[in-house]
Amino acid sequence: MQHYVMAVDQGTTSTRCILFDARGRLVSVAQREHQQHFPRPGWVEHDATEIWRNLGRIVPQALADAGIGAEQVAALGIANQRETTVLWDRHTGVPVGRAIVWQDTRTDAMVEALAREPGADRVRRLCGLPLATYFSAPRIRWQLEHTPGLRERAERGDVLFGTIESWLIWNLTGGPDGGVHVTDVTNASRTMLMNLRTLSWDDELLEFFDVPRAMLPEIRSSTEVYGTTSRVVPGIRIAAALGDQQAALFGQTCFAPGEAKCTYGTGSFLLLNTGTTPVLSTHGMLTTVGFRIGDEPAVYALEGSIAVTGSLVQWFRDGLGLIGSAPEIETLARTVEDNGGCYIVPAFSGLFAPHWHSEARGVIAGLTSYITKGHLARAVLEATGWQTREVVEAMNADSGIALSTLRVDGGMTADNLLMQFVADVLDVPVVRPMVAETVSLGAAYAAGLSVGYWPDLEGLRRNWHRAGQWLPEMDPSRREREYAHWRQAVELTFGWTRPSPAATPGTDVTELVQADHRRMEELFRELRNDEADRAALAGELVSLLTAHATAASRVLRAVVPDFAADARAALDPGPEGEKALLRLESVVAEHIRAVERGLLNELRRTVSPAERIGLGRAFAAERARRLR
């Protein structure tokens, strides 16, 4: 009798059940969408009961479509939308309100208040994540505070918390009648409540977020048998659970340190395997658990998220009306040889990794009358490549592991021009697998490995087959020249919604430093204008650089380049002054990048908000003395 492995991929918009055979080939798939609820601005909710009902329909359908019975399913693995929060009654199985989705921002004010609490600076060190509405803990606290009597019930253990995989496993294994309440390390690592090193719920984090331990599931590895289904289709072993992006990492067989995958969709997620030691990022990445196989040590990953990739193509299609369908952009881009000097930075709602500039807004830079819609199409695609390079560079700097190959999946990988460009700008091979359903395949692989359906990781590697490969072809000098132009375009996006740089003493020191940086960049731009008062602008720039450098070195102990010689020479109105100004601009730009990716991220991670305000007062005072 032939056996198969079943994967459930519970995503943000739908739930799918897929059966795979021993060679990792898709045998059947069943899918149902669920409703999105938006009760207030910024609120996003799902009906957890609807998701459970949908699972009860698609599992039998997938079996029927394959023409097999439950006895032929060796194991079931679950991949799920991460961070989405479900609370339910242990005795009835009824959810306490709707599930709060990972996109929901209702806890914004709470997170801001928590950032001012004693111990806020410890959160990232313990769990690897920054304080943000993105993760589960603030949502749990919000529900406990806004539902009368809920905290008391949770403290008694009458109300349970789980991310979606916990909710489904509990229901599949009996629900109120003995359901197993578990989660895996990858999902637990996204709650802000798990200690990244001990892989257990952390007392300090539970106290900080005021979450009762009694409501939490037991943390288990990603690959082990949690229980056997007694509902929907009884008798199937539930043998794996992973968050969706970690499941894609597993499905792409990125089992060794230095191996990475990028999923290209509306936005993009890049995960890099960093081995069995967590790497705390100083370059804007998230530290997370990649997977844990049985009793073996956990494997960690760095994660970089890019807000706008596929959605930029959608904007090009729907917002500008320059193409009729998304695939047309490749055809249009191929009508020209290059971008014509045009760059599009899609900071529609700020920039994510590695910059984290929420005030940034998008720009189209380098426009001339030469630019056609073909050049714009190419610039749209190239924006995804350059953003990928920025994230990879940050990951390489954090991990000390140089990326050797990038494995890709997602809808945008059908664009061959884009994939070639990604290979060119990364200077590494880019490869796409035969099976596009890498999230579901990763859940299936983990479950099959758990029960011996597949013997080991090498057996899974042998299942991975390449469908496409793109090798670097770009001339290195062109690569670096165009990347310099991209970075210049990125810098133009900064500060669009930022208040005036004349911040008052008492502001967070990171905001003061960034305000100085934005003014420096603005002065350099103004100095390029032939009609500008060069002497006045250069004088202001020299004064600002001197004051900023002194304050940064004395208050923040920062290593600041010696601007003095070029700054003084830049005051000369002749050719030598122009050369000095260009040298100075290059040095300052590199300094800004280093400080904003390194020192400022480190200050946010290790210094409390109150301490940063104290440093801000000292920085402003020292700076003011030098500007007198």
Is the CB of residue 537 less than 8 Å from the CB of residue 525?
no
Cα angle: 615, vertex 616, 622; to 5 degrees: 90
| Rounded Cα–Cα distance for residues 121 and 138 (Å) | 16
- Tell me: is residue 202 an annotated ligand-binding position: no
Which residue has tokens 């993105």?
134
Dist CA 272 CA 600 (whole Å): 23
> Shortest CA distance to 269 belongs to which of 261, 280, 278?
261
Q: Is 82 annotated as a binding residue?
A: yes
Instruction: Tell me the C-alpha distance between 228 and 235, whole Å.
Output: 6
CA-closest candidate to residue 520, choices 533, 534, 508, 538: 538
Half-sphere exposure of 309 (CA within 13 A, CB side): 26
Contact 132, 356 (CB under 8 A): no
Is 16 annotated as a binding-site member? yes
- DSSP-assigned letter for residue 217: P
Whether 491 has a binding-site annotation, put simply, is no
Cα–Cα distance between 242 and 368 in angstroms, integer?
A: 48
- 244 marked as part of a ligand binding site: yes
* Residue 12 is labelled as binding a ligand: yes
Judge contact between 552 and 560, C-beta under 8 A: yes
The one-letter code for the residue type at 142 is W
Was 14 annotated as part of a binding site?
Answer: yes
| Strand 73-80 versus strand 26-33 pairing type | unpaired
Tell me how far apart the alpha carbons of residues 431 and 42 are, in angstroms, rounded to a whole number: 37
Spatial distance between the Cα atoms of 12 and 203, rounded to a whole number of angstroms: 31
Instruction: Answer yes or no: is 370 a known binding residue.
Output: no
The upper half-sphere exposure of residue 421, i.e. CA atoms within 13 Å in the direction of its Cβ, equals 26
DSSP annotation of 97: S
Nearest to 75 by CA among 6, 27, 175, 10: 6
- Cα radius of gyration rounded to whole Å, the chain: 26
Query: Is 410 within 8 Å of 433 (Cβ atoms)?
Result: no
Count the helices and strands in the chain (H runs, E runs).
Answer: 22, 21
Question: In this structure, what DSSP letter does residue 364 have?
Answer: E
Which residues sit opposite 261 in a β-bridge?
Answer: 271, 407
According to DSSP, the residues that pair with 62 across neighbouring strands are none
Q: Is 314 annotated as a binding residue?
A: yes
- Is beta strand 260-264 parallel, antiparallel or unpaired with respect to 406-409? parallel
Q: What is the 3-class SS of 490-559, one letter each residue?
A: HHHHCCCCCCCCCCCCCCCHHHHHHHHHHHHHHHHHHHCCCCCCHHHHHHHHHHHHHHHHHHHHHHCCCC
Q: At what angle do helices 373-399 and 476-493 cross, to 10 degrees?
A: 90
**What dihedral angle (degrees, nearest 10) is formed by the CA atoms of 280, 283, 288, 290?**
-110
- Edge-first strand order for the sheet with 268-275 is 286-291, 299-306, 268-275, 260-264, 406-409, 430-433, 466-470
Annotated binding site for sn-glycerol 3-phosphate, which residues? 12, 82-83, 134, 244
Annotated binding site, which residues? 12-14, 16, 82-83, 134, 244-245, 266, 310, 314, 411
Annotated binding site for ADP, which residues? 12, 16, 266, 310, 411
Annotated binding site for ATP, which residues? 12-14, 266, 310, 314, 411
Annotated binding site for glycerol, which residues? 82-83, 134, 244-245
